[in-house]
Amino acid sequence: MEQLSEKKFPVNAKDYKLYEEVGDGVSATVYRALCIPLNEIVAIKVLDLEKCNNDLDGIRREVQTMILIDHANVLRAHCSFTAGHSLWVVMPFMAGGSCLHIMKSSYPDGFEEPVIATLLREVLKALVYIHYHGHIHRDVKAGNILIDSDGAVKLADFGVAACMFDTGDRQRSRNTFVGTPCWMAPEVMQQLHGYDFKADIWSFGITALELAHGHAPFSKYPPMKVLLMTLQNAPPGLDYERDKRFSKSFKEMVAACLVKDPKKRPSSEKLLKHPFFKQARSNDYLARSILDGLPPLGDRFRMLKAKEADYLLQNKAMYEDKDHLSQ
């Protein structure tokens, strides 16, 4: 389909050997794989085109976005091609996995503040680049922040990224409803006036809370309830009492992002100058702080899948018991 980087990655499924699963979504599975001709470990995202409602337009836009990317903090694809009813997207393998998986397996209550500052600074550098090039990411969250074995941080998943240069109009606002409700900006939910780059700043603020607590605000509620709470309640934030372990500057940075009026939120460039990021450290520090001693990504993913399956079974048993009692 498209060739995206200097090194020639083959565009044929037979040139890759799929190993274990390292991630999944509604219509995609991510594998660790070997690119046989180059003898290089890669990640391959296999999208089921039938489950994507054959949204070839969206896929074309995704590939177009991937071609334009060239930044140290954004996950770039090597190439993509179709194989049967699937689209294969070949990407660098990020051995640390996502911040979400790292929290789920080892940091259920969130990370320490210097770790959060370091992760968020790298994500913000990615957003500055993405926004400058006329894109909105639209799905900023811990699950899309990937870490390599050396502590390098990359923002992933342009599955829902929107190119605002389609008509050459920088000021154009999007009107489509995409993203994950817990991280979604109020103006994206309302669908009244469209939205712009500032929608990512709201999601960035929610992601900061997610990294601080181990979960996003409202994450235990169903999507419709999340929509209502986001629109009707005061914005979430770091509580001065409950969150004593976090600095005033962290609380202020989050509050600046989570303002309901998008015009009052800072741009990614302005936010990068916030005093909170002065405590950000090196990639090496991240690798030592949160990756040391973690099992390999495939093992962690398998353990998390097993945990989820157990949880679903317990819930099913609980509902069946209730059902039995009510008869």
Annotated binding site for ATP: 45
**C-alpha span between 141 and 210 (Å, rounded):** 8
How far is 27 from 185, CA to CA, in rounded Å?
24
**What size, in residues, is the chain?**
327
Burial call 265-295: b when 16+ CB within 10 Å, e when fewer: bbebeebeebebbeebeeeeebbeebbeebe
Residue 112: name the closest of 242, 239, 248, 246 by CA. Answer: 246
Give the Cα separation of 169 and 174 in Å (integer). 11
Q: Strand 97-98 vs strand 135-136: parallel, antiparallel, or unpaired?
A: unpaired
Choosing from 48, 57, 109, 139, the catalytic residue is: 139
Residues 6+ apart with CB under 8 A from 88: 13, 16, 44, 45, 46, 47, 80, 81, 82
> Which residue intervals of the chain are DSSP H helices?
56-68, 99-106, 113-132, 186-190, 198-213, 223-232, 248-257, 268-271, 283-286, 297-326
| Rama region for 168: left / alpha / beta (φ>0; ψ in -120 to 50; rest) | left
Q: Which residues pair with 88 in a beta bridge?
A: 46, 81
User: Measured at the alpha carbon of residue 42, what is the angle toward residues 88 and 35, in degrees to the nearest 5?
Assistant: 80
Active site residue 139: yes
Q: Residue 162: CB partners within 8 Å, gap ≥ 6?
A: 61, 135, 136, 138, 174, 176, 178
Enumerate the active-site residues: 139
